[in-house]
Each structure stands twice: as structure tokens, then as C-alpha cells.
């Protein structure tokens, strides 16, 4: 066959997918909510990317610590001039949003807090998604004992309201851990590869699973033995105490994805086209990846985008309660936590220092709103039953 | 299958989950240092000095299984440790602080459900029209607000600004009467009801006034969930054959919506009631902190790190255990209600 | 010749969907004579179900009627149902015109018992009769001394319900939780009617079935319940929308016999919508053949079977499989109704297509006595 006819065939084969995509895009454009959501998120992405320009860090090695303009306890309103000469020399002249207790610049905190928020949201959701996808696929596809065990475990973690379990975990985790995403990523890849290999040699489902678990454990032991101590390859992010929050949130967050994927797989598993695929001899892996996941993935996308907002809210709540980011760290929730003091001391006149909590809170609200709008709009657009009305 | 068998089976299923909850809490305890874990076994302030003995006594440096049997037997006896921030044994502190939280929850959850279902139905019936857009916008905004921020803003606007609704649980006068005068009798622990039972209705009114803002905070955040689920299940019900059939019988639109579609739509909504509980438990933690209400939530928040550098471990774990058990039991109740209402499940 | 009880003139209906405007009905003309069974036959998508829904004016959105008349003449003077007030339509639906649906499982509400759903339509339309019957029963009970102490009050309430149903006192009383139990008497009367209907439907043990939920019923029983709902108020016109399509073949026969028998008993006029020519032959006096939103042929069943005039009808009858004869089918496929062909919608599949067929839509003409057709071969 000539290249031309091959190309033609390819284009014909891909046409339904493209048409569906075009239809989705058209619906996205027609839904004002999703556009608003995307604009809002784009706004924050811009802030995050241009943070070093919008708010040049006073300490280039530690851009996430908000600079102090003195150490006075009384907040100063927006527009106050910078007094510390060292800071002024670096280019800062006014506190655009004012200062919080301890003379921390609110503007700086909000700008760099955007980066923090993205990091928290995206990292936690990525890890939760990966783990949830894996466990959900295994539970849903293989069923039986594996399903029971995994679902019990999921139920147990889900039995705790997220914030509360996260609270317990954050204060429990020792301060010396750091995150190693390289390890997790590599382990998942090897795990999946083992499953694939297992299937193509025509092993039974449960044996494949055991083989995969063994492989995972072997890999972990090998890694640790070779490198001496628990893996320390950390991404070039200085997260400080925020590591504990991230770990806690990820540990608490994966079950929702497991549930959703498992539900979708169960729903799709008995559809005729899956039976047909099996009848022509597709391997399990192929069936899951090519037939089941594309139908199941919509719900996951929706939940993921809503989850980013929820994660940021929970992290902000943890910081507000004092167990999240440390004082002085560029995190929105952290900046509002000072408000706790004057609440518990007796509430007098919060409007006097409105800028200390209103402005960071606004940032949180709009950020989460953007993701929620997007997720909601996606739900309306991608839900197959509502699509064509 | 029949309702009775269903309930029995459901209760049996709950047991492993409860065990798992306990196990998970225990696993979390293992992440703490032995010194911290020792606080889970003491019952009074004085015993704090005896920590090294306690470590030895409960094998806190040794095998996990031994520790579990010790810890679990203590838990079964009601000893969840000593709470520094609460000033007493954990269980006692929880019981003391429970009424305040319960009162808040008793007001918030019904309002959320009633208002949420009503708005959800209106949203679905007027799909893509003004009521729908307004409701969905408002509910999404509510869902995106940080709970603590909403609370602070409400205080700032309605208390400092307008002076309508104060925070905390009672005003100064009522506080004196309840805690200091000696005339007060606790009947239920819920101040709104006790106020009436004590013959002092002004106290009930006072407490109600104080509860407006925290309830509004909780409702605003949680209502989006109910509205969303009710709307989508209502839309699904409205598309079903029996709706057309009902119209063909000559029923009015209201009758069709309320009698036929609504009852079917309520069924999936009930399953979300569990999530609602989780949301309320989380919300209560922050709301009580912001409004300075002396309930379980604020206690746990202070224990975790609001008070200083050293967390009050037994308090946080006690609260987590409580939350987990409450959630599991709530889900059981919801499942049973669901089975009862849907005749397809009730009659097998 | 008996008069028309229903006459549909030039009915046009569109569905406004994301993909475009579906011109579902393109000028449907047919008439139903008093006491007859009219069949509407056609392939899936030809618009036969929608025609039925249009008679009741309950076409769900995004459907909208764009023109035409639906003339209903229960007592001589016709009224156009498409231009009637909703309040009056609601009285007509269920009482004068009612419908049997295709899938009994989805037509019945899963959370209400069979009896509840039959009672519902009776309570809606025959309230006054039920109240009178309740009053008679209460009088009997009082006379024979078996009445409860509340009987006096109940009697007063029911008399009020008869004389002034919208009274304020009734509105209030009907909302107070325990007081509103007085409604039970009325519901019991309705339930008795429901049991009676189930008995007429040949359902064994109707007292038990009346309290069963739809998912507990077999397909055949569920369909009988749907029929019971439709006939409970003795309608003038019964529209049966493929009532046996979703049932087993053996049950199909029973239901068909039942409908025939009930028609005799209730003396209604019936519109029977189906895609099965066999059922048409068995059940109907006259038949309308529909294609792509038009009625292409209309006439007596025997006549059409013997002498089909429209090429589509001819093709339909030819394509019925017969032993020893090779399969014949009509060439081509049903056109998309978003962009329907101009002129006669059948022209691109018609072996006799002429030039005019591609440009102009043919009118309905009486080609032979009482045998109408929309085709330029006979103009």
C-alpha cells in the first residue's frame, strides 16, 4: 500500500474521534461558565509564571519566605511605604496590599502563594490520581478477592472526613521526610509493565497481581539497598513543612479516584464491545487501556479538576489552623491564620485590618472558583447522557 | 431480599469497616514518638510525670501486636488518653463538648437538606433559565469559599458592621445565667431547647441569634452538594417514561413534578447524605474555631496546633476516631433508609 | 359512513436539537372514525409515535408543533386540541383520550404500587362519582350502626368536597398530618375501582396485584396495568403506541386479544401504532402508512393489502418474507429528517420516481373509493 492510501485510511479511522473532539470544543465555547473558569485559571497561571517579575524575591534562594519589613505586630494598610532600607534597595517601595502581623508583605505572599497553590493542587491530585487509577483498575477489572480487599481499604480511608484525617496525619508525620516522586513514578511504571508481561504470557489474573506486588516490593528493596537509605531524589522544590501537608492530603485523597474508576470499569466491563474485544483475543491490558479507560476517563477528569480546588481549600484550612505552612511562608491560608489570634482574644473590630484576611481570602476563593467552574462545566459537557440535549 | 435481611447484612458489612477504622487510627499512632503515644494511656495531669514508666508498662517500644492489644483494651474501657487542651480524660472532654457541636449540626443539616432539595428541584424544572443559572452560580460560589474566610467575612459584615448576629454561642447575660447563677438545669445540653425547658425563653432566642451566622456558614458551604445531586437526579427523573405517562393521565405539571419525579429523584440524593455528614464534620471544626464556640471542632483544632507547638495527640486522635465512627454509622442509617424508601430494594 | 371523531390536518412538528432541526412531521393527514380501529404503520423513525403524542399534546421538548390542526369531536362540534387551553387539555387527557405506552416498565413509576397509579387517574377525573359513592357508603354504615365516631365529621367533609371543592377549610384540612386521613376513604373507593379494572384486564388475584410494585410484575401484567390506567375512565379515543413490541410473542397474542375484547366492551375508537403489518392485519379496520413524517397511504386494511397503491406500501408488502421466495427489500435507507429530500420524501427510493416528485410534495388524494394516497402517480 502506498503511503498516500495509508494516510487516507488513518484519517478515515481517526475522523470519529476528531468529530467528537470538535463537538466537545464547540460545547466548551458555548458554555460561558467554562470560559470564565478557564480565564480565571489562566489569570492565576500567568501570575504563577511571572511571579519572579511581579514580586522579585528578596532572598533568591528562598523565594517562598515572605520578607519582613521590620517586626512590628500591627498590620499596616495597603499603600504604606516600605521602611526597611535593605528591602527598599532591592526595588520594593510600597506595600501594595499592606502588611500582616509581623510586617509580612501581603502582596508578596499572595503572588508567590499562587505558585504554592498550584504546587499543592497539582502534585497532590497527580499522586492521588495515579494511585487511585491503579487501584481502581485492578479492583474493577479483576474483581473477586482483590476487589474486596482494595475496596475495604478504600472504605476505611474514606470513612474519615478528609480534613480530620489530614489533621491527624500532619501532626503525626515526622519532620524529616521528603517527597520522592521519582521513586513513585518509576515503581508505577514497573508495576504496569509487569502486569502487561504477565498477561501476554497468559498467566491468570491473580497470579499476575501477586507477581506485580512482588515485583513492586523487590524493586523497593533493591532501590533502598543500593542507595543506602530511603530514596532522597527530590524534585528541585523547596517545600519546607508543606511536605507533610502534601503527603497527608495525598494519603487521604486517592480513594475517591479508586471508587470512580472502579465504578466506571464495572459499568463498562459487561458492555458488549468489551465482550467482543475479548472474543477476538485482546489481552486484559489492551482491553483496559483501549476500550474501558477512554469511556471511564471522563468522570475522572471532572473529579480531578474539582479536586484541585478542594485540595487547595483543605490545605488553606490546615494552614489557617496552624498545622500547614509555617509562619512567614508564602501561602494564602497561612496569611489568614493570624486572624485566629484576634478571634480568640475577643472579637473587636475586624474591619480595621480587613486587608490581612480579605485579600488572601479573595485569592483562595477566585482560584478555587475557577477550578470548580471548569469542573462543573466539564461535567455538563462530558457527561454522555446529557451531551446531546 | 427483604428489609430485615438487608439491614442485618448491612450491619455485618459495617463491622469490618469499623475494625478498619480502629486499625487505621492505631496505625497513625505508630507514627508518633513513644513519648507522645504515652499520653494516650494516662488519665490525669499528675500522670504526666510518670511517662517513662508508662512507656515500659504499655510496651510502647516493643512489638506492634502487644501495643495494639494494650491500646485496644484501653479504648474499650473508654480510656482514650488525657487531653491537655481539654483538661481531662479524652472521653469526658468529648462528652462535655458534644452538645455545642450537636446543636450546631442539628440546625445546619436539616436546613441544608430542605433548602437544597427545593432549590435543586427548581433548578431542574427551569433548566437553563434564570432560576437555574442563579441557583447554580450561588451554589458554586458557596462551594468555592474557604469556610474560615466565609465565617470571618460574615462576622465582619453582620456583627461588626451591622450588629445583627453575634458570634460565639451565647451573649454575656445568658452566659452568666447558664454558667454562673446556679439556676440553670441541663436537660438536653442543647441550649435552645433547654432555654424553653428552664422557663427562660429569652435564652433560647439569644442562642438562636448567636447561631445564625455559624449555621449560615455551614449551610452555604454544604448546600452546593445537595443542589447538584438533586438537580441531576431530577433531570434524570423528568426524562423518564413515567413522566410522560403521568402527563397523559391529565395531571398538572406541579403534580407530575412533586408526586412522580421528586420521589424518584430523592432516592439518589439520599446516598449523598453520607458525604454531607463528612462535610459537616469538617466544617464544624473550622466554624467553631472562627466563631469561638466551645465544641468538639474547636477543641480538635486547638489540639492540633492552634495552641502552640506541641500537639495534643490524644485529643486529635480521639476526635478522628469519633468522626470515623459517626461517619460509618451515618452511612449505615442512610443505606437502611434508602433501602426502605426504594421499593425495588425493600421488596427484593 | 360514520363520522370522524378525530381528524388530523396538515400536522407539522419539529425537534430542535443540537445537530439541527429535525422535521419530524411534515404535514400529516389522517382521520379516525367513531368506533373503528385505525392502524398507523411505518418504520422506526417515521413519526408514528410522535403523531400519537401530538394528539395528546404532550410531545416532550425539544419538540414543538409548527402547524396544523388536531380536531377532536366527541359530541359533534370539533375543537382543535393544539389551540385548546392547558386546563381543558388536562381534563381531556386520561378521560377522553388516553394512551397505552410501549414499554410498561418505564411507563410505570417504580415507587408507587400498581393500584396507586390506576387510582391516580380515577381520582383525577372521576372525583365527584367517588365522593358520592363514599357518601352513600358512609350513610349505609351510619344506618346499620357500624359507623365509627368520626363518621359524622367525615360525612360533613365529604359533602363539602362535593359542594365546594376549593373551599379554604378543605385546603387547610388536607394539609394537617393526622386530620388529612379523611382522604383515605376516597382512596379506598378509588382502589376498589382499580381492583375492578384489574379484574377486567383478566389479571388473576387482583386484590393482591393492586398492592404490588411495578418491578414485581411480569411484562405482560405490567402492560395490563398500563392498559387499565388508560381505560379506567372510559375514554373515547385510545392510542396504543406499540403496546406489544417489548413483550414475549406468546404474551403479545394475549394482549392483542385483550385489547380487541376491551374495545368491544368500552366502545372506544382506537389508534394502533405499530411497525408490524401482521398486527395491522389482525387488529385494524383501516390503516395509515407513514413514511418519513408523512402519511403516504390511508384506507381499509383489506383494500390496502390487496391493492397497495403507493410504491412504499408496495415495497413493504413485498418485503414480508415468504417461503420459497427470495428476499426483496426496498433500496436505499430512510433519509435524515434534518435535511429531508425536497418534494416527495420517498423519491430517492422509488422505482417510479418522476421529475415532479423531486420538486413538489404530493397532496393527499382519493385515488379510489375511501382509499387515499400521496403520490403523483395518481394525481
What lies within 8 Å, CB to CB, of B73 at 6+ separation is none
DSSP-derived secondary structure letter, A289: I
* Residues C23 and C11: beta-carbon distance below 8 Å: no
What is the model's pTM? 0.82
Work out the pLDDT band at A248, boundaries 50, 70, 90. confident
DSSP A84-133: -HHHHHTT--EETT-EETTTEEHHHHHHHHHHHHHHHHHHHHHHHHHHHH
Q: What is the DSSP letter of A272?
A: H
Strand partners, C288: C40, C298
At A327, is the secondary structure helix, strand, or coil? Answer: coil
Q: How many CB pairs below 8 A link B and C?
A: 76
Could you tell me which residues come within 8 angstroms of residue A18 by beta carbon, excluding any fewer than 6 positions away?
A: none
Are B254 and B296 spatial neighbours (Cβ–Cβ below 8 Å)?
Answer: no
Low-confidence ranges of chain B (pLDDT < 50): none
Let me know: does C88 contact C56? Beta carbons within 8 Å.
Answer: no
Q: Choosing among C18, C60, C62, C63, which should be mutated to test the A contact, i.e. which has the most A CBs within 10 A?
A: C18
pLDDT of residue A263: 82
pLDDT at A190: 63
> How far is A35 from chain C, CA to nearest CA, in Å?
20
Sign of CA dihedral C366, C368, C371, C375: negative
Strand order in the sheet with C237-241: C97-100, C237-241, C269-274, C37-41, C286-291, C294-300, C371-373, C365-368
Residue C284: closest CA among C294, C295, C273: C273
Instruction: Name the residue in chain A with its Cα closest to that of C15.
Output: A389
Q: Which helix (H) or strand (E) holds C169?
A: helix C168-173
Q: Is B317 at the interface with chain A, CB within 8 A?
A: yes
Nearest CB partner across the interface for B286, out of A317, A354, A373: A317
Q: What is the pLDDT of residue A189?
A: 66
Other beta carbons within 10 angstroms of residue C221's beta carbon come to: 20
The 10s digit of each residue's pLDDT in A57-75 is 777 767 777 777 777 777 7
CA distances from C146 to A77, A90, C137, C149, C159 (A): 85, 100, 11, 10, 20
Residue A178 has pLDDT above 50, yes or no: no
| Interface contact B140, partner A, CB < 8 A | yes
Report yes or no: C213 at the B interface, CB cutoff 8 Å.
yes
Whether residue A265 is predicted with pLDDT greater than 90 in this model: the reply is no
Output the pLDDT for position A229.
Answer: 42
Average pLDDT, chain A: 75
C183-229 pLDDT, tens digit per residue, is 888 888 899 999 999 999 889 999 999 999 999 999 889 999 999 99
Contact (CB, 8 A) for C313 and C277: no
Roughly what angle, to the nearest 10 degrees, separates helices B273-291 and B90-125?
120
- Any chain A CB within 8 A of the CB of C20? no
Cβ pair C194, C112 in contact under 8 A:
no
pLDDT average, residue stretch C254-283: 88
> What distance in Å separates the CA atoms of residue B118 and residue B135, rounded to the nearest whole number?
11
For B164-194, the pLDDT digits (tens) are 888 888 777 777 777 777 777 777 778 887 7
- How many angstroms separate the CA of residue B197 from the nearest CA in chain A? 30
Are B285 and A313 inside 8 Å of each other by CB? no
Distance from CA of B264 to the nearest CA of C (A): 7
Nearest CA in chain B to A350: B156
pLDDT greater than 50 at residue C46: yes
CB contact under 8 A, B347 and C110: no
Instruction: Check CB contact of C19 with chain A, cutoff 8 Å.
Output: yes
Predicted confidence at residue C115, as pLDDT, reads 92
CB pair distance less than 8 Å for B156 and A162: no
B1 contact C CB<8A: no
Across the interface, whether the CB atoms of A389 and C62 are under 8 A apart is answered yes
Pairwise CA distance, residues C348 & C336, whole Å: 12
Q: Taking CB atoms and an 8 Å limit, are A388 and C62 in contact across chains?
A: no
Q: Which of residues 120-139 of B touch A (CB under 8 A)?
A: 136
Encode pLDDT of C315-372 as tens digits.
888 888 888 888 888 888 888 888 888 888 888 888 888 888 888 888 888 888 889 9
Q: What is the ipTM of this complex?
A: 0.85
Torsion region of C80: left, alpha or beta (phi above 0 gives left; psi -120 to 50 gives alpha): beta
CB of B262 within 8 Å of a chain C CB? The answer is: no
Portion 326-355 of A in contact with B at CB < 8 A: 333, 336, 339-340, 343-344, 347, 349-351, 354
Report whether pLDDT(C7) > 60. Answer: yes
B272 with B112: CB under 8 angstroms? no
Q: Give Dmax over CA atoms of chain B in angstroms.
A: 80
Q: Do B289 and B301 meet the contact criterion of CB atoms below 8 Å apart? A: yes
Task: Kindly determine whether residue C106 and residue B240, on different chains, have CB atoms separated by under 8 Å.
Answer: yes
pLDDT for residue A231: 40
- Name the pLDDT band for A243 (thresholds 50, 70, 90): confident
What is the distance between the alpha carbons of residues A361 and B154, in angstroms, rounded to a whole number?
13
| C174/chain A closest Cα distance in angstroms | 39
Give the Å distances, CA to CA, from C232 to B182, C38, C134, C218. Answer: 70, 21, 18, 21
At residue A228, the pLDDT reads: 45
Which residue, among B168, B305, B314, B327, would best test binding to A if mutated, counting the most A CBs under 10 Å from its CB?
A: B305
Q: What is the pLDDT of residue A194?
A: 60
* A256-269 core/surface letters (b: 16 or more CB in 10 A; e: else): bbbbbbbebbbebb
Q: Cβ separation of C101 and B260 shorter than 8 Å?
A: no
Min CA distance, B343 vs chain C (Å)? Answer: 6
Residue A238 has pLDDT above 50, yes or no: no
- Residue C315 is predicted with a pLDDT of 87
3-state secondary structure of C57: coil
Distance (Å, rounded) from C-alpha B213 to C-alpha B183? Answer: 28
Can you tell me the distance from the alpha carbon of A93 to that of A82, in angstroms, rounded to the nearest whole number? 5
Q: Are A161 and B32 a contacting pair at CB < 8 A?
A: no
Is some CB atom of chain A closer than 8 A to the CB atom of C358?
no
Amino acid at each position: 500500500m502506498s503511503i498516500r492510501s495509508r494516510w487516507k485510511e488513518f484519517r478515515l479511522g481517526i475522523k470519529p474521534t476528531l468529530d467528537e473532539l470538535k463537538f466537545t470544543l464547540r460545547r466548551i465555547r458555548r458554555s460561558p461558565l467554562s470560559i470564565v473558569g478557564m480565564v480565571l485559571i489562566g489569570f492565576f497561571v500567568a501570575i504563577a509564571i511571572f511571579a519572579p517579575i511581579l514580586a522579585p524575591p528578596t532572598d533568591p534562594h528562598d523565594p517562598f519566605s515572605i520578607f519582613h519589613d521590620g517586626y512590628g505586630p500591627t498590620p499596616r494598610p495597603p499603600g504604606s511605604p516600605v521602611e526597611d532600607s535593605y528591602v527598599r534597595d532591592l526595588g520594593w517601595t510600597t506595600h501594595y496590599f499592606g502588611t500582616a502581623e509581623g510586617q509580612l508583605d501581603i502582596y508578596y505572599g499572595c503572588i508567590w502563594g499562587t505558585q504554592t497553590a498550584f504546587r499543592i493542587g497539582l502534585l497532590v491530585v497527580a499522586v492521588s490520581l495515579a494511585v487511585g487509577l491503579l487501584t481502581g483498575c485492578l479492583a474493577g477489572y479483576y474483581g473477586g478477592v482483590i476487589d474486596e480487599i482494595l475496596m475495604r481499604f478504600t472504605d476505611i480511608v474514606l470513612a474519615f472526613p478528609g480534613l480530620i484525617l489530614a489533621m491527624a496525619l500532619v501532626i503525626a508525620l515526622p519532620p524529616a521526610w521528603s517527597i520522592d516522586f521519582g521513586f513513585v513514578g518509576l515503581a508505577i511504571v514497573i508495576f504496569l509493565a509487569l502486569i502487561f508481561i504477565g498477561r501476554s504470557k497468559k498467566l491468570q489474573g491473580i497470579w499476575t497481581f501477586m507477581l506485580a506486588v512482588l515485583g513492586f516490593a523487590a524493586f523497593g528493596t533493591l532501590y533502598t539497598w543500593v542507595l543506602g537509605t530511603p530514596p532522597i531524589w527530590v524534585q528541585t522544590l523547596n517545600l519546607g513543612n508543606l511536605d507533610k501537608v502534601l503527603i497527608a492530603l495525598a494519603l487521604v485523597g486517592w480513594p475517591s479516584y479508586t471508587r470512580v474508576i472502579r465504578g466506571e470499569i464495572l459499568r463498562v466491563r459487561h458492555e458488549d464491545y468489551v465482550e467482543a474485544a475479548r472474543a477476538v483475543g485482546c489481552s486484559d491490558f489492551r482491553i483496559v487501556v483501549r476500550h474501558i479507560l477512554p469511556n471511564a476517563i471522563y468522570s475522572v477528569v471532572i473529579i480531578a479538576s474539582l479536586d484541585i480546588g478542594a485540595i487547595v481549600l483543605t490545605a488553606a484550612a490546615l494552614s489557617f489552623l496552624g498545622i500547614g505552612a509555617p509562619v512567614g511562608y508564602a501561602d494564602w491560608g497561612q496569611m489568614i491564620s493570624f486572624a485566629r489570634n484576634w478571634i480568640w482574644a475577643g472579637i473587636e473590630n475586624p474591619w480595621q485590618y480587613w486587608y490581612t484576611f480579605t485579600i488572601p481570602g479573595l485569592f483562595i476563593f477566585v482560584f478555587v472558583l475557577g477550578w470548580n467552574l471548569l469542573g462543573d462545566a466539564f461535567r455538563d459537557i462530558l457527561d454522555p447522557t446529557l451531551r446531546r440535549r | 431480599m427483604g428489609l430485615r435481611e438487608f439491614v442485618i447484612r448491612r450491619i455485618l458489612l459495617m463491622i469490618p469497616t469499623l475494625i478498619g477504622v480502629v486499625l487505621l487510627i492505631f496505625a497513625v499512632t505508630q507514627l508518633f514518638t513513644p513519648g507522645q503515644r504515652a499520653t494516650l494511656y494516662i488519665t490525669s495531669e499528675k500522670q504526666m510525670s510518670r511517662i517513662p514508666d508508662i512507656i515500659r508498662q504499655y510496651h510502647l517500644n516493643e512489638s506492634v501486636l502487644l501495643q495494639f492489644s494494650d491500646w485496644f483494651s484501653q479504648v474499650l474501657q473508654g480510656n482514650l488518653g488525657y487531653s491537655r487542651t481539654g483538661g481531662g480524660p479524652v472521653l469526658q472532654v468529648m462528652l462535655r463538648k458534644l452538645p455545642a457541636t450537636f446543636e450546631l449540626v442539628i440546625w445546619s443539616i436539616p436546613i441544608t437538606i430542605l433548602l437544597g432539595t427545593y432549590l435543586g428541584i427548581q433548578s431542574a424544572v427551569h433548566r437553563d433559565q434564570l432560576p437555574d443559572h442563579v441557583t447554580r452560580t450561588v451554589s458554586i460560589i458557596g462551594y468555592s469559599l474557604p469556610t474560615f474566610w466565609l465565617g470571618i467575612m460574615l462576622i465582619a459584615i453582620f456583627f461588626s458592621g451591622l450588629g445583627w448576629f453575634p458570634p460565639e454561642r451565647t451573649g454575656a447575660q445568658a452566659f452568666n445565667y447558664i454558667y454562673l447563677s446556679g439556676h440553670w438545669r441541663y436537660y438536653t445540653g442543647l441550649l435552645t431547647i433547654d432555654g424553653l425547658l428552664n422557663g427562660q425563653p429569652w435564652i433560647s432566642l439569644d442562642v438562636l441569634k448567636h447561631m445564625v451566622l455559624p449555621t449560615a456558614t455551614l449551610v452555604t458551604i454544604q448546600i452546593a452538594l445537595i443542589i447538584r445531586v438533586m438537580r441531576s437526579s431530577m433531570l434524570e427523573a423528568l426524562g423518564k417514561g413515567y413522566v410522560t405517562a403521568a402527563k397523559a393521565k391529565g395531571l398538572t405539571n406541579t403534580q407530575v413534578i412533586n408526586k412522580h419525579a421528586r420521589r424518584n429523584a430523592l432516592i439518589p440524593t439520599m446516598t449523598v447524605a453520607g458525604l454531607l455528614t463528612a462535610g459537616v464534620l469538617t466544617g464544624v471544626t473550622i466554624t467553631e474555631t472562627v466563631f469561638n464556640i466551645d465544641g468538639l471542632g474547636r477543641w480538635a483544632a486547638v489540639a492540633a496546633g492552634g495552641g502552640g507547638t506541641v500537639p495534643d495527640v490524644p485529643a486529635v486522635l480521639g476526635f478522628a476516631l469519633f468522626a470515623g465512627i459517626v461517619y460509618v454509622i451515618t452511612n449505615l442509617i442512610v443505606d437502611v433508609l434508602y433501602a426502605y424508601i426504594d421499593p425495588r430494594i425493600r421488596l427484593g | 359512513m360514520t363520522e370522524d371523531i378525530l381528524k388530523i390536518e396538515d400536522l407539522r412538528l419539529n425537534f430542535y436539537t443540537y445537530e439541527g432541526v429535525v422535521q419530524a412531521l411534515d404535514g400529516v393527514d389522517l382521520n379516525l372514525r367513531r368506533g373503528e380501529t385505525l392502524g398507523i404503520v411505518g418504520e422506526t423513525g417515521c413519526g408514528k409515535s410522535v403523531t400519537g403524542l401530538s394528539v395528546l399534546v404532550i410531545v416532550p421538548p425539544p419538540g414543538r408543533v409548527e402547524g396544523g390542526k388536531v380536531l377532536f369531536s366527541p359530541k359533534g362540534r370539533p375543537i382543535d386540541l393544539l389551540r385548546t387551553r392547558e386546563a381543558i387539555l388536562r381534563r381531556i387527557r386520561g378521560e377522553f383520550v388516553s394512551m397505552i405506552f410501549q414499554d410498561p416498565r418505564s411507563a410505570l413509576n417504580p415507587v408507587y404500587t400498581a393500584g396507586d397509579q390506576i387510582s391516580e387517574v380515577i381520582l383525577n377525573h372521576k372525583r365527584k362519582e367517588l365522593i358520592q359513592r363514599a357518601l352513600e357508603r358512609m350513610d349505609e354504615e351510619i344506618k346499620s350502626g357500624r359507623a365509627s365516631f368520626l363518621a359524622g365529621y367525615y360525612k360533613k367533609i365529604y359533602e363539602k368536597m362535593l359542594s365546594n371543592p376549593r373551599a379554604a377549610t378543605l385546603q387547610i384540612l388536607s394539609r394537617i398530618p393526622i386530620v388529612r386521613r379523611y382522604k383515605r376513604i376516597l382512596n379506598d373507593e378509588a382502589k376498589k375501582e382499580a381492583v375492578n379494572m384489574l379484574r377486567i384486564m383478566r389479571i388473576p388475584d387482583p386484590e393482591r396485584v393492586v398492592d404490588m410494585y411495578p418491578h414485581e410484575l411480569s411484562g405482560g401484567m405490567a402492560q395490563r396495568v398500563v392498559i387499565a390506567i388508560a381505560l379506567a375512565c372510559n375514554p373515547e379515543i385510545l392510542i396504543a403506541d406499540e403496546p406489544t413490541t417489548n413483550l414475549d410473542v406468546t404474551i403479545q397474542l394475549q394482549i392483542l386479544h385483550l385489547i380487541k375484547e376491551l374495545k368491544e366492551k368500552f366502545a372506544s375508537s382506537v389508534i394502533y401504532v405499530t411497525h408490524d403489518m401482521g398486527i395491522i392485519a389482525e387488529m385494524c379496520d383501516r390503516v395509515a402508512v407513514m413514511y418519513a413524517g408523512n402519511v403516504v397511504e390511508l384506507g381499509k386494511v383489506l383494500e390496502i393489502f390487496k391493492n397497495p397503491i403507493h410504491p412504499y406500501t408496495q415495497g413493504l408488502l413485498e418485503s414480508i418474507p415468504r417461503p420459497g421466495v427470495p428476499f426483496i427489500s426496498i433500496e436505499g435507507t430512510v433519509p435524515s429528517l434534518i435535511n429531508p429530500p425536497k418534494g416527495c420524501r420517498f423519491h430517492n427510493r422509488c422505482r417510479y420516481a418522476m421529475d415532479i416528485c423531486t420538486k413538489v410534495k404530493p397532496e393527499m388524494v382519493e385515488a379510489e373509493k375511501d382509499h387515499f394516497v400521496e403520490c403523483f402517480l395518481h394525481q
